[in-house]
A and B are shown apart, each in its own frame.
Chain A
Amino acid sequence: MTDDLLEISGMHKSFGGLKVIDDVSFNVRRSSRTALIGPNGAGKTTVFNLLTGVYPIDAGTIAVDGQDITDVPPQDRVTVGMSRSFQNIRLMPHLSTVENVMLGQHARARKLGNLLFPLGMLPRNKWRRAAEEALDKAGVGTYPGEIVSNLPYGVQKRIEVVRAMVSDPKLLLLDEPAAGLNKTETNQLQELLERVSDQGVTILVVEHDMQFVRDLCDYIVVLNFGRKIFEGTPDEVHKDPAVLEAYLGTDEDTAEAANAS
């Protein structure tokens, strides 16, 4: 078992003539809570898209738990232990809360027997109970049957995180999970993620909320214009001149946080 759960090496991606990811390499240590930060447009979500296989990588390798997954097709990446949430909520609008979460279980339920089991008709089945439990633990357990498009934004965001969690991933990729959440919701999210991390799941989170990042994460990777410009602990990060330059004038939180330290 290697120390690093995720190893990204020499990642390159261009769209048309535009290079959006330029030679990005970093590793994410097992069971760590790492943040991927950078100004808007730095390429953070693109990195996630490349990791999950939404786009094919132009050059470079990605390895999870020692296994090279660069050529693994997107629908199989979840079976190697990767799961993600999205920047803009991408829950299935016509499915209920618990059904959305059950979709998250799909990778673990691909056997024919599971596929043909009438989930909807026997409501006390183990998959549904597991989904409801997960929702409960995340504090969004009061709405299992509600159609998600009727729910408030903050609740939907957390349901997305739960969906990503129930596939039992080794690596949880969260894209701005705290965006749009109020103080209380953010704290709840943080508690949830801390608990998940304590169970051994590695977390890689993209975020703009620097307070959240500093409270939750133990390691930070900084991107700008598709390149990695720094990696280190939260304390080291905001002293680095390159990082400050990247953020000056664009992100008040960082500047404030920098001044406050």
Chain B
Amino acid sequence: MSGYLESQLIILCLSIVYAYGIFLPAASGQLNLGAAGFITLGAYASAWFNASTGAELPIWLSIPLAMIFTGVIAFAISFPILRTRGVYMVLATFAFAEVVSGVAINLEFVGGAAGFPVDDHADVTVIVPVTIAVILFSFYFMSTRLGLSLRSIHDDESVATLFGVNVRTSKVVAFTVGAMLMSLGGSLYGHHYNYIEAQTFNVLLSIYILLYVLMGGTQTAWGPLIGATFFAVVPETLREIAESAGLKWLAEGRFILFGVFIVLLMVFRPEGVMTRTLQDRLGGGLFRRKKPVADEMTGGS
């Protein structure tokens, strides 16, 4: 595989992993604009666990440890953050990411503002399988009763409660597991580029990831995959097309087209590209009808 394609693949994989991290809470109706915060935690934690100036652990230990570390923090802050709602939650998660960034920049033992080199390298042979595992895990998670609870909470929290769903616990789990996935993404980033600085994981990243997820659709586990793929692939493709066709304005204007696309999608298809109904029509139809349509109106076949 050419170097260019490989680097594109890496970007795609990382985007997918981040996206699933935001998708899990989004599926239950929580909008998390703090992706950068959890990604930063994962990147720095794994880098430190791995570094010779740190814990000097091998990469297959440092990454999981970083996930656990992030998970603990996410669990702890999930309680106050899940007390906020709607726009307040968006702002709170945003503020959290800024706080993480602000702290990371000041920690000298992980490089401070100058950034931190990361020892072990993770290449395509690590990143692609891990990404596939994340995708499979997410599909599995959403297919469980826990996933069903999350989707019920998204649709109608009070009714879900009345049927015995523990809303608070479900949301905490979604938030924490999502954070751990984002941490995984951050660790992979650090170990691949072998250098991290807090400024890379900024507001724009949080915004983009949330956008991928909302545009792909939060109703099914296909959503983040579609969103991340689209966003990672299309701008580059547009640039390729533009350059080979000599359309300079397209190359530079591709982000503008991007923004326009987002706006139009919200006008015409606000639930995102993949909805439950569409998924059903495309392939879930296998289980849709068991027998020929009886005439429901007259009550018998």
Asked whether the complex places CB atoms of A and B closer than 8 A, the reply is yes
Judge if B270 is at the interface, Cβ distance under 8 Å.
Answer: no
> Does B207 reach chain A (CB closer than 8 Å)?
no
Cα-based distance from A79 to B166 in the complex (angstroms): 12
- Assess whether A121 is in contact with B140, with CB atoms less than 8 Å apart: yes
A104 at the interface (CB under 8 A from B): yes
**Could you say which of A79, A106, A142 contacts B296, with CB atoms under 8 Å apart?**
A142
Q: Does A84 contact B (CB under 8 A)?
A: yes
Query: Taking the complex as formed, is B277 at the interface, i.e. its CB lies under 8 A from any CB of chain A?
Result: yes
Instruction: Return chain A residues, CB-CB under 8 Å to B65.
Output: none
Alpha-carbon separation in the docked complex, A117 to B148 (Å) = 11
Q: Tell me the chain A residues, 141-173 only, with Cβ under 8 Å from chain B.
A: 141-147, 150, 152, 154-155, 163, 167
CB contact between B162 and one of A54, A109, A116, A152 (< 8 Å): that residue: A54
Residues on the A chain within 8 Å of B3, using CB = none
Which of A85-93, A208-216, A218-226 lies at the binding interface? A85-93
Which residues of B (133-174) have their CB < 8 Å from a CB of A?
139-140, 142-149, 151-152, 154-156, 158-167
In angstroms, how far is the closest chain B Cβ from the Cβ of A112? 10
User: A184 in the interface, Cβ–Cβ < 8 Å?
Assistant: yes
Contacts of A96 in B (CB 8 A): 276, 280
Partner of A114, one of B145, B155, B166, B298: B145
Tell yes or no: B291 within 8 A of A by CB. yes
Q: Does B288 contact A (CB under 8 A)?
A: yes
CB-CB < 8 A to B165: which residues of A? Answer: 75, 103, 106
Q: Is the CB of A76 within 8 A of B164?
A: yes
Asked whether, in the complex, the Cβ of A115 is within 8 Å of the Cβ of B287, the reply is no
Describe B's contact surface by its main secondary structure.
helix
Cβ of A199 within 8 Å of any chain B Cβ, yes or no, is no
Interface presence of B293 (CB below 8 A): yes
Q: Within 8 Å CB of A93, what residues of B?
A: 155
Tell me whether A121 and B164 are in contact (CB under 8 A). no
Contact with A along B290-301 (1 / 0, CB 8 A): 111110111100
Distance between Cα atoms of A93 and B147 in the complex (Å): 16
Least Cβ–Cβ distance between B25 and chain A, in angstroms:
16
Q: Which of B163, B219, B297, B298 contacts A103 (CB 8 A)?
A: B163
- Nearest residue (CB) in A for B170 is A115
- Taking a contact as CB atoms under 8 Å apart, the answer to whether A147 and B280 are in contact is yes
With contacts A95-B155, A141-B290, A188-B299 taken as known, whether A74 is within 8 angstroms of B162 at the C-beta atoms is yes
* Chain A 110-144 near chain B by CB (<8 Å), digits 1 or 0: 10001111111101000100001000000111111
* B284 part of interface (Cβ distance < 8 Å): yes
> Which chain B residue lies CB-closest to A139?
B299
Q: In the complex, are the beta carbons of B296 and A107 less than 8 A apart?
A: no
Contacts of A106 in B (CB 8 A): 145, 148-149, 163-165
A185 at the interface (CB under 8 A from B): yes
Q: Identify 26 residue pairs between A and B in the complex whose beta-carbon atoms are under 8 Å apart, listed by A's number.
A: A74-B162, A79-B164, A86-B159, A92-B152, A94-B151, A96-B280, A103-B152, A115-B146, A116-B146, A117-B144, A117-B145, A120-B147, A121-B139, A121-B143, A127-B145, A140-B296, A144-B287, A144-B290, A145-B280, A145-B287, A147-B280, A150-B277, A163-B163, A167-B163, A185-B299, A187-B299
List 5 A-B pairs, minimum CB-CB distance, nearest first: A120-B143, A107-B164, A145-B288, A92-B155, A145-B287
